[in-house]
Structure 1
Amino acid sequence: MICAGFGARKGVTSEAVLAALDAALTMHDIARNRLNALATVPRKRDEPGLTDAAKALRLPLIIADEAAMRAAATHCLTRSEQALAATGLPSASEAAALAVCGPAARLLGPRLTLDGVTCAIATTGRQS
């Protein structure tokens, strides 16, 4: 499984979300069609930019479980004071991606930040 986790400021556009996603995928040499899901934190479940991007990609936007994100937080590569204040997590996008991929998940690298969107890629498989 390959999942892109997102954090975003309120009101971001789906274009900004897709641009951040494409930049993160390019960083890891992964094509869009290899993605299985998008993930975010519960407080962003109704953010139009995220929901519209998921619809455009025809992928589920999975709302990560709070307990799974807390468990995944120790595996985050980034520590953002803003994310800590807002969510209690060192990185909302990294924790969401890890939580959705499950206990065996790993991040392919630290999150990417672009135009008010953070995007992190997690996987349960080996990078190829």
Structure 2
Amino acid sequence: MIAGVGFRAGTGAAEIAGLIRRALSEAGLEPGALAGIATAADRAGMPALREAATAFGLVPHGVEADALVAADARVFTRSERLQALRGVGSLAEAAALAAAGPEAALALPRIASPGATCALAGYAGGL
């Protein structure tokens, strides 16, 4: 399972990790089911995300803009703001799908906390 994550500047690692745990729980999965954490390439090195990923024994994977846009046809959630900013309806969903592979499907559409979003996609040979 791949977690796609979007987050605002200033969002802490605890909030991001907590949202990933909540997503896994809502999908009926244990933390060990998580094979990767993905976000936009320009956000993957952010300290809060790196720290959150460490809680799962993972390193964040950055997805390039063209791969995010290519996954957009498979996202469920549509945010006009994100569409204008990044060319996708949901960064979390597009990142999860793009990183999980071309045959991946969403296992859990985007959920949100005050500063972050998370979606889960079934791993299909990506990352």
Q: TM-score, normalised by structure 1?
A: 0.90
> 1:65–1:99: 8 Å Cα contact kept in structure 2?
no
Aligned to 2:54: 55
CA distance in 1, matches of 2:45, 2:9: 10
CA distance in 1, matches of 2:86, 2:41: 9
Deviations 1:66-85 (A, max 9, x none): 22221110000100122223
Aligned to 2:17: 18
Aligned to 1:45: 44
Secondary structure of the structure 2 residue equivalent to 1:33? helix
Q: Percent of counterpart pairs with the same letter?
A: 35
Count of residue pairs the alignment pairs up: 124
CA distance in 2, matches of 1:59, 1:115: 23
Deviations 1:24-61 (A, max 9, x none): 11110011111000000022123221111112221121
Unmatched 5+ residue regions in structure 1?
none
Q: TM-score, normalised by structure 2?
A: 0.91
CA distance in 1, matches of 2:123, 2:51: 26
> 1:11–1:48: 8 Å Cα contact kept in structure 2?
no
Aligned to 1:89: 88
- Note the aligned Cα RMSD (angstroms): 1.3
> 2:65–2:86: 8 Å Cα contact kept in structure 1?
no
